[in-house]
Amino acid sequence: MNNRNYDLRQSIYEPTQIMVMRHVNKTYHTSVGKFPALKNINISIESGKLVSVLGKSGSGKSTLINLMAGIDHPSSGEVIINGSDIHKMSEGKIAVWRGKNLGIVFQFFQLLPTLSVLDNTMLPMDFCGTYRKTEREEIARNLLRTLEIEDLSESFPNSISAGHQQCAAIARALANDPPIILADEPTGNLDSKTGEMVINIFKKLVSSGKTIIMVTHDRKLANQAQRILLLRDGILINESLTNAFLELNEIILAKMDSKSETFEVNAGKSMFFSAKERSWFWILTRGAMTLSIEEKNIVTDALKTKLSAGDIIVNSDHVYKFTATEDCQILSIPLPEIISLSNIEIMQVEQVISRNLNTSGVNYATELA
């Protein structure tokens, strides 16, 4: 195959999206009425990524993980994992599918107390009938060796430390070599040092090709992931906002998210924004563009700046011309008064922006203004 054909293939096939959620809603029916736990969730996750799910208690993190695991069904929308429409699968089918495709790690380990660490690790192989019976023990021992707890193979869960129990639970999750690991608060019952160890294990697994989705309350741990999904009251905050303003609390992020708007600009096309617009600032969420400022109907090319994904442009007294050098997506955050931010909240947002302004490599249009 010559290079040209190869390039063509690359452009046709998108990177593998191992997990896709489209317009997912989950409503619980309780004695006091309907409770929407997840609202219009859209997620697309490439394989080989460490993704954290962050949010306050009750924000819907476990509900999200349970939908991804097929433990629960969405009220509406689609959940497509590793190519399977799991929202359409029957309970019986899902159990076998899950055993082969997903490893699940829980906060309280959920190891069977009457089985040794080794037997706990072999359990998923027995359940799914994976590998020959004679091979299972060796595969389990190899996994325990990788997790550095082989010498605890014959021990029972209650006789080993919490950190070692979580390592055993991770070994069990890996037993059938699933492409995806889902972990609900895997460090929630561990001290910070042991929690750090678990994250390091996850990082290694991800570099060997696994996709890991991990729920946590801890922003410092969440920050070590390649992507952060932040939930607030069942709503997924725009990821670009989360990335840019992770140090701010969810209340501010949710206000900024609630009325933000997304624009698409195709490669080669331009778009004008003026100070009269309702935007406070913009985030270039995808693609690349150049930015010029128009003064008295003249676009001042001298001020042309190249922007890439993640860059923030603060609106000021100018007409801005965005020219997409690649297909672009821009998120527009409305003026503080439109989203009812208090003076303190406005200051907090501006502090983050100006702090980043001082770090090199990030472009801000205010520098030009």
Ligand X SMILES: Nc1ncnc2c1ncn2[C@@H]1O[C@H](COP(=O)(O)OP(=O)(O)OP(=O)(O)O)[C@@H](O)[C@H]1O
Which residues contact ligand X (rule: CB under 6 A)? 28, 30, 35, 37, 55, 57-63
Query: What does 63 interact with, of Mg ion, ligand X, none (CB < 5 to 8 A by kind)?
Result: ligand X
147 close to 201: Cβ distance less than 8 angstroms: yes
Query: What does 178 interact with, of ligand X, Mg ion, none (CB < 5 to 8 A by kind)?
Result: none
Sign of CA dihedral 226, 81, 125, 172: positive
327 close to 231: Cβ distance less than 8 angstroms: no
Minimum CB distance to ligand X smaller for 63 or for 120: 63
Nearest distance in Å: CB 33, ligand X: 11
Residues in Cβ contact with 268 at an 8 Å cutoff, skipping those fewer than 6 apart: 323, 324
334 close to 280: Cβ distance less than 8 angstroms: yes
Minimum CB distance to ligand X smaller for 59 or for 260: 59
Nearest distance in Å: CB 352, ligand X: 25
Minimum CB distance to Mg ion smaller for 62 or for 260: 62
Query: Alpha-carbon distance 189 to 184, whole Å?
Result: 11
Nearest distance in Å: CB 67, ligand X: 10
Minimum CB distance to ligand X smaller for 57 or for 343: 57
Nearest distance in Å: CB 169, ligand X: 18
Query: Alpha-carbon distance 229 to 24, whole Å?
Result: 15
65 close to 106: Cβ distance less than 8 angstroms: no
Query: What does 99 interact with, of Mg ion, ligand X, none (CB < 5 to 8 A by kind)?
Result: none
Query: Alpha-carbon distance 147 to 93, whole Å?
Result: 31
Nearest distance in Å: CB 66, Mg ion: 9
Binding residues vs Mg ion (CB under 5 A): 61-62
Nearest distance in Å: CB 14, ligand X: 30
Query: What does 108 interact with, of Mg ion, ligand X, none (CB < 5 to 8 A by kind)?
Result: none
Query: What does 48 interact with, of ligand X, Mg ion, none (CB < 5 to 8 A by kind)?
Result: none
Residues in Cβ contact with 296 at an 8 Å cutoff, skipping those fewer than 6 apart: none
**344 exposed, middle or buried (CB, 10 Å; 0-12, 13-18, 19+)?**
exposed
Minimum CB distance to ligand X smaller for 26 or for 318: 26
Minimum CB distance to Mg ion smaller for 61 or for 172: 61
Query: What does 6 interact with, of ligand X, Mg ion, none (CB < 5 to 8 A by kind)?
Result: none
List beta partners, residue 262: 331
